[in-house]
Amino acid sequence: MSTRGALFDPVFGATGVAQQLSDQAWITALLDVEAALSCATAAVGVADGDHCAAVAAAAAELSRPGAIDVDALGRAAAAGGNPVIPLVKILRARVARDGVPAAVVHPGATSQDVMDCALMLLVRRAGTLVLADLTRAADSAAHLAAVHRSTPMVARTLGQQALPTTFGLLASSWFTALDAAAVRLDIALSTLPVQFGGAAGTLAASYPDGMKVSDALADELGLERRAVPWHTDRVTIAELATTFGIVAGAVSKPATDIVAMASTELSEVSELVPGGSSTMPHKRNPVAAVTARAAARRAPALVATTLSAMDHEFARAAGAWHAEWETVTDLVRSAGGAAHQLSASLTGLQVHPEAMARNLDLTGGAILAERVTAKLSAHTDQAREIVTAAATSGISLDQDPTIARYLSPAELTELLDPAHYLGHATDLVARALAERPTGESR
């Protein structure tokens, strides 16, 4: 389900990215492609340079908000199944006033060429904002890891207290995943390809200059050149979809942790600007993390839809191609909103070490049962059974008479100190920070 619009975009963090994916943004991108195509033909010497300059100027004029009636264009697009057909008519009519022949507009192209190139421009423009938010979120998490590399807290597995860890190590799991997603997104955005194949991918209408026009079009748009058109080879689209799906997944992990850690019972973190409730004045909801999760949760279905539409038949798909336009842009919108909201959540996240220490003490030392068992095993082969019985009885391990038979009070005090059983937690944080490609590394 799309949440496009002024009512929900701010809630899910998509205000900025939505502007780059709006109906007006689509029109602008389509016109940018048409202008670039005319300039490409001039660059290879098969069209008049002045005519192509006039097309570029007209396209810029028509790109201004309100210059084209979006509703009317949408209705006109229904007849041919895409907005390129009526948009080309509008552009040709506009340049005709300057004496530019109709053939200079949309030369040798098919609608899919323009739609696919426009989608690449939209993804790049919106994706740049997503990448910036993702990087800010990773930097904030890395800062938390650096500051709290040795702050003890509970490590939880399967929803239960497991062993002591540090908040810095948990935050390291956040920023390493966010960094990995950012690297993949940066690669995807920097390798977006041009699309130009003509009616059936043979460049027949542009022969013998079609391949030169394709390369010139790529250069005009700042897209990668392609050896052959990819009209029905949708690996590019699938890679984009999975990349934004990875972004959403990398975002949802820390958002989920923050929501749980901000609960009243744990109270280990809180957002700098928490949200309230319409009826409960005491509520301090981690709204940014909550809405980051909400935005990210829509991504997997959109990824699946995109992958399911890869079966484009022959030289042009009947329906599968059309299914991509809103699916991909909604995916970018959802992943982008999630990254933005996580960035807001992590920026200034309040960490409460005293609550973490309190939660470490909840089990009366049972969280260190592994360590006590290892020490006790030097004295008896029944170490595991003895410690298990004590841990399940509710008796603090340092008060259990059977354990006390083998270990002194001083030994138990040292064994049950969470700060003395953190393993390589601080070392792992230091290594993760040192290996970051950019940003926080101290």
Cα of 339 vs its chain's centroid, Å:
6
| 103 contact partners, CB below 8 Å, separation of at least 6 | none
Alpha carbon distance 275, 273 (integer Å): 7
State the first-to-last Cα distance of the chain, in angstroms, to the nearest integer: 42
For every residue of 196-248, DSSP letters joined together read ---TTSS-GGGTTSHHHHHHHHHHHHTPBP-SS--SS-THHHHHHHHHHHHHH
Q: 130: closest CA among 439, 347, 291, 342?
A: 342
Residue with the two structure tokens 């006039």? 54
Cβ atoms of 226 and 216 closer than 8 Å: no
> Is residue 64 packed enough to be buried (19+ CB in 10 Å), middle (13-18) or exposed (0-12)?
exposed
Give yes or no: 225 in active site: no
**Active-site residue, selected from the candidate residues 277, 308, 393, 441:** 277
Q: 150: closest CA among 441, 330, 353?
A: 353
Cα dihedral 147→152→155→156 (10° resolution): -100
Give yes or no: 316 in active site: yes
SS percent in the chain: helix, strand, coil, step 5: 60, 5, 35
Q: Tokens for 313?
A: 């038949």
| 150 contact partners, CB below 8 Å, separation of at least 6 | 166, 168, 419, 422, 425, 426
**Active-site residue, selected from the candidate residues 4, 226, 284, 316:** 316
Alpha carbon distance 399, 390 (integer Å): 9
Alpha carbon distance 49, 435 (integer Å): 50
Cβ atoms of 397 and 364 closer than 8 Å: yes
Catalytic residues: 277, 316
